[in-house]
A and B are shown apart, each in its own frame.
Chain A
């Protein structure tokens, strides 16, 4: 059943739903939400609180929102949310994450004093847009991804694409690149797409900088910097071994500006193959989503 009232109705309901009878459940869910969201915030600014509006997660609403977005928003925020004249909506590492209701308000009222104008969309249209943004920003696994899961699996494990010679999923595959077991639950689809077609972007944020570390004792370590700051450095070398270093002991640190991953997947894969690969990756979660995946294919 779809529940669509005015925004004020929903606000009222929202408040009522936080009445004492449901408090415990909500507090628990809130706590759970915060806990679950924490690691994700660090990656892409996930919502702290999910809306109960029925548009959220509804494929039709998302599709309608996508049309609105392409016409009205993409000009400033980029066709895939990656920003332009307006801010990047997907990689929001420094942003305070917004709830669906807050996004609704921003869309409706705009940002006074900035270039973001108010809109006169109906409630339903605005929620469709919020649903699309939610899907765009939220983990890929939470939304239906276009493309064929099974065909995507074949692409991932094929020698032609070669993904699995460096990346692992559930312990299978190569270990020199990022493990992708949970990629669908930790990255929005747009970020996964970007990582495939433009792998050298945002390496610092992803903990994927290729480094060469020369120590003062002469030792040289080649690997990937999991973390680095002015004081310490943690590197997984090409053998898969972890090195814990103080910057005091480092004579020279060279950070590669580009990823060791080939940058030509946009050419190497057809658009269909890419879509299928993304459908496969989008459903890689710690708890397998196979059942859901096969349902969607039917």
Chain B
């Protein structure tokens, strides 16, 4: 059966197929054309062949070993039977049916390596960003370099790890490096040439800039990295991008105030990069709780009328729902059981702080741990109407260093431990914000994989032993 599908593909391929913006809008079907599968960030496939009945008999067909897998955080794209996996400064085009390498692109002259989270595809091109901030466009059939254009200076401590994101005729890129002082941004580049069309910074550069009053003396190095791609609402023409922690992570002495726009969700106009609204989950963060987790876009009924909302499971331990047109805060519920830094979220969306939970020189025990209550994985399944989030019940000791912060020295202003911990897959009903079911994973709580759900009613996750785990999307039953 798989082969007949492949043949169907062969025939369509001979029409010199190109990935169009409209295809990404419709994605995913048999293809997976953007990091989270769709612009809505669902990580959901409508393929139905794998069901709750037959998933138990899945066997591995092939394994392709990507070199240097320590930095492998890629979500491969799939187009017409070819899988595009990335690692730092490299792309591997793999025959999806056989696991054989078709071409590889490895930029050996890049002086830095980072993790890399994936590629983007449009027309006949596959795009990646290199660790030293070049947008690189390759011919998708051969891997030949078409252009490589610099969009940020690595000398300013900015690196790039997020998968580039295609919307219409633009490639949206982010910035990494927020744990050692940098100025985060999101940039819209021309997909045709790589030229910059707009750039929106996430933190101010100097005194007098907008929001600079929410910062102190280390202004300009505030962080707010944008190391995860975002989601997109084509009707509102808005990009949804999350931002990372303020710097120095654990010692906030130099940055009194809310530190806008760190630990936030930004809604940016695709054409201009203009910030239509922002919502800060963790004002004045002191626990390295980046807001990097999917802004999942769904339309649901809320208090009697349909609302376009964005769902967000945050590292700080709460699960949020906002109006995605206006940024209006609608609701927050507890994502995990053990949250000790805030007693809840008030009506304006601000956390109600519990005194004395900042890092101290001796170390302060706080839940959740520095890894956060969740990370960037959280898919939605329209069949069940549930969101599936990997959560972590873990606490840690947060300590503060009194050393003066020096930007670009990989100095987070302290440190944090991660002790014990239990990973739990939780299904959340967006209508109520409550849990539908939960499945505690086996192992020591160190895994931090993503999840994918299918129209066949299966949720996939990985466990500590490196196994693929399949759960029933309705009940959480282990399959």
Return chain B residues, CB-CB under 8 Å to A201: none
A267-298 near B? 1/0 per residue, CB < 8 Å: 00000000000000000011100000000000
A73-86 near B? 1/0 per residue, CB < 8 Å: 00000000000000
Does A185 belong to the interface (CB within 8 Å)? yes
- Interface stretch of the complex, out of A50-58, A122-130, A241-249: A241-249
Return chain B residues, CB-CB under 8 Å to A19: none
A40, A171, A185, A229 — most chain B CB neighbours (10 Å)? A171
Return chain A residues, CB-CB under 8 Å to B141: 236, 240-242
Q: How far is the CB of B11 from chain A (nearest CB, A)?
A: 8
Does A179 belong to the interface (CB within 8 Å)? yes
Return chain A residues, CB-CB under 8 Å to B98: 231-232, 244, 246
Q: How far is the CB of A260 from chain B (nearest CB, A)?
A: 16
Q: How many residues of A contact B (CB 8 A)?
A: 38
Report yes or no: A242 in contact with B13, Cβ–Cβ below 8 A: yes
Report yes or no: A179 in contact with B82, Cβ–Cβ below 8 A: no
Report yes or no: B10 in contact with A35, Cβ–Cβ below 8 A: no
Return chain B residues, CB-CB under 8 Å to A239: 14, 16
Report yes or no: A246 in contact with B13, Cβ–Cβ below 8 A: no
Does B81 belong to the interface (CB within 8 Å)? yes
Report yes or no: A38 in contact with B145, Cβ–Cβ below 8 A: no
Report yes or no: B68 in contact with A35, Cβ–Cβ below 8 A: yes
In the bound assembly, the distance between CA atoms of A245 and B102 in angstroms comes to 12
Does A182 belong to the interface (CB within 8 Å)? yes
B82, B101, B106 — most chain A CB neighbours (10 Å)? B106
Report yes or no: A234 in contact with B109, Cβ–Cβ below 8 A: no
Report yes or no: B107 in contact with A287, Cβ–Cβ below 8 A: yes
> Restricting to A214-232, which residues have a CB under 8 Å from any CB of B?
217, 219, 226-227, 229, 231-232
B57-93 near A? 1/0 per residue, CB < 8 Å: 0000000000110000000000001100000000000
Does B142 belong to the interface (CB within 8 Å)? yes
Return chain B residues, CB-CB under 8 Å to A154: none
Residue of chain B at shortest CB distance from A224: B142
> Restricting to A112-147, which residues have a CB under 8 Å from any CB of B?
none
In-complex Cβ contact of B81 among A40, A244, A287 (8 A): A244
Does A195 belong to the interface (CB within 8 Å)? no
Report yes or no: A242 in contact with B68, Cβ–Cβ below 8 A: no
Does B147 belong to the interface (CB within 8 Å)? yes
> Restricting to B2-37, which residues have a CB under 8 Å from any CB of A?
3, 6-7, 9-10, 13-14, 16-17
Report yes or no: B109 in contact with A286, Cβ–Cβ below 8 A: yes
Report if A227-B108 is in contact (Cβ < 8 Å); known contacts: A170-B145, A286-B145.
no
Return chain A residues, CB-CB under 8 Å to B14: 237, 239, 241
Report yes or no: A227 in contact with B100, Cβ–Cβ below 8 A: yes
Report yes or no: A179 in contact with B142, Cβ–Cβ below 8 A: yes
Q: How far is the CB of B75 from chain A (nearest CB, A)?
A: 21
Q: Could you write out 14 A-B pairs with CB less than 8 Å apart?
A: A39-B106, A171-B139, A179-B142, A185-B108, A231-B98, A232-B95, A232-B98, A234-B95, A241-B13, A241-B17, A244-B98, A246-B3, A246-B97, A287-B110
